Amino acid sequence: MTYDSDILIVGGGLNGPALALAAAQAGLSSTVIDAQPEAAMTDADFDGRAYALALGSVRMLRRLGIWEAVAGNAQPMLEIKVSDGRAGEGPLSPFFLHFDHAEIEEGPMGHMLEDRYLRRALIDAMAASPQITVLNGETVTAQEAGAQGVGVTLASGRTLNAHLLVGADGRTSGTAARAGIRRTGWDYGQTALVCAIEHEKPHGGVAHQFFMPPGPLAILPLPGNRSSIVWSETHDTAARFMALDDAGFLEMLRPRFGNFLGGIALAGKRFSYPLNLTVANSFAGDRLALIGDAAHGMHPIAGQGLNAGFRDVAALAQVLAEARMRGEDIGTAPVLDRYQAWRRFDTATLAMTTDLTNRLFSNDNPLLRFARDLGMGAVNAVPGLRRGLIREAAGLTGDLPELMRG
């Protein structure tokens, strides 16, 4: 078999490029294949999301040489306020959770960064790496693993070979499906409405999570007097709100948002993302590893999806680097089992925690409301517990891969 590279990565979204860069640092070459043309992915209107990047993820981006390119557009997250309420009450209910970065010594819990800056920086860094080949506008349609290596076939008819295949192809991963890996999950009946808004008053680096019966509303600070909104509603309501013009949309948002930041206006296009849970039953197969949403697509309630994907990236890159140093074939089961053992339990637990949080908070049952308000009050009153949750949100707990350590 002749090899085009050490690793074939299906999916050039966010996790695929991050893995290619991390693997390159370990001396491993990658070919990254994505169905989308590069011009579409770098269009500022391609994806309206902004990510709450935990400190662990920021550390990894710094080590990959990406952070310098995006730091000027990132907003440090200094505090998080979580409160319960109904539409019209605004995010200032008497029961709340308050996390302040001053309670941990590492600095801000994380940074908010818009997709357009992160994606651009990853694409530029891949272009600058001699270890990485990028094929845009190419769809993988078939794959075959053997004793010597793994091959993929593209829709164009071209074939490529490597030692290892990585599925970074998102929530409906064809790479996982073609390998016979089943998934567990369900539809949340919710759609996230995403947009950036401008507001009169400064946000002070404070992120708000406001729980309402149809789903959470997150108000996340961006540079300047701007915030990113992730607003979950039932599919029908979300479709109705998306169909409104900008003025009608803002009229629906205002009473939910409250007026604590003064007047608000839209600062760009609106986007919608249907929400579901989908976890692959295995993160490894025959010469195959799954990372990012291909392994675990979860509710954005805790802003942890990409952070979990970046942990997969850092863990897999470390496992592969160590295997290569020992002279092992990086596509073999003992190597891939080490990756799976490191990541699968942690991620399944995180996915279930986000699922439970969404169930507990996305309803108006008075008993549950009372219980969760008491719970929030109790957590808020215990500094040790609060500090533990801050460190968890900052991505500083558990068995941290080397790329995410300070």
Ligand X SMILES: Cc1cc2nc3c(=O)[nH]c(=O)nc-3n(C[C@H](O)[C@H](O)[C@H](O)COP(=O)(O)OP(=O)(O)OC[C@H]3O[C@@H](n4cnc5c(N)ncnc54)[C@H](O)[C@@H]3O)c2cc1C
Q: Binding to ligand X (CB under 6 A): which residues in 90-149?
A: 139-140
List binders of ligand X among 211-230 (CB under 6 A): 230
Question: 3-state DSSP call for residue 396?
Answer: coil
Of positions 91, 216, 221, 300, contacts ligand X by CB under 6 A: 300
Size of the site for ligand X (CB under 6 A): 33
Residue 16 CB, shortest distance to ligand X, in Å, is 6
* Choice between 52 and 330, CB closer to ligand X: 52
How far apart are alpha carbons 65 and 59 in whole angstroms?
Answer: 10
As a whole number of angstroms, the distance between CA 14 and CA 66 comes to 12
233 part of the interface to ligand X, by CB under 6 A: no
Least distance (Å) from ligand X to the CB of residue 361? Answer: 16
> Bridge-partner residues for 144, per DSSP?
151
Q: Does the protein bind ligand X through residue 36 (CB under 6 A)?
A: yes
Nearer to ligand X, 296 or 369 (CB): 296
Q: Which is nearer to ligand X, 63 or 95 (CB)?
A: 63
d(CA 134, CA 286): 24
Contact 36, 12 (CB under 8 A): yes
Q: Minimum distance between the CB of residue 302 and ligand X, rounded to whole angstroms?
A: 8
Closest C-alpha among 199, 233, 206 to residue 92 = 206
Q: Does 396 engage in binding with ligand X (CB under 6 A)?
A: no
68: part of which helix (H) or strand (E)?
A: helix 67-70
Number of neighbours of residue 118 by Cβ within 10 angstroms: 25
Nearer to ligand X, 152 or 261 (CB): 152
Q: Does 4 bind ligand X (CB under 6 A)?
A: no
CB atoms under 10 Å from CB of 385, counted, come to 12
Q: 43, 56, 132: which is closest to 406 by C-alpha?
A: 56
Pick the stretch among 13-21, 78-86, 201-209, 257-265 that binds ligand X (CB under 6 A): 13-21
Query: Per-residue x/- marks for ligand X, 155-194, CB under 6 A?
Result: -------------xxx---x-----------------x-x
Of 21, 49, 123, 320, the one binding ligand X (CB under 6 A) is: 49
Tokens of 234: 């039932």
**Amino acid at residue number 364:** D
- In degrees, rounded to 5, the angle at the alpha carbon of residue 118 between the alpha carbons of residues 126 and 261 is 175
Closest CA to 352 of 317, 301, 403: 301
* Comparison of 306 and 324: residue with beta carbon closer to ligand X: 306
List interacting residues with ligand X (CB under 6 A): 10-16, 33-36, 49, 51-52, 139-140, 168-170, 174, 192, 194, 230, 273, 292-293, 300, 303-307, 309
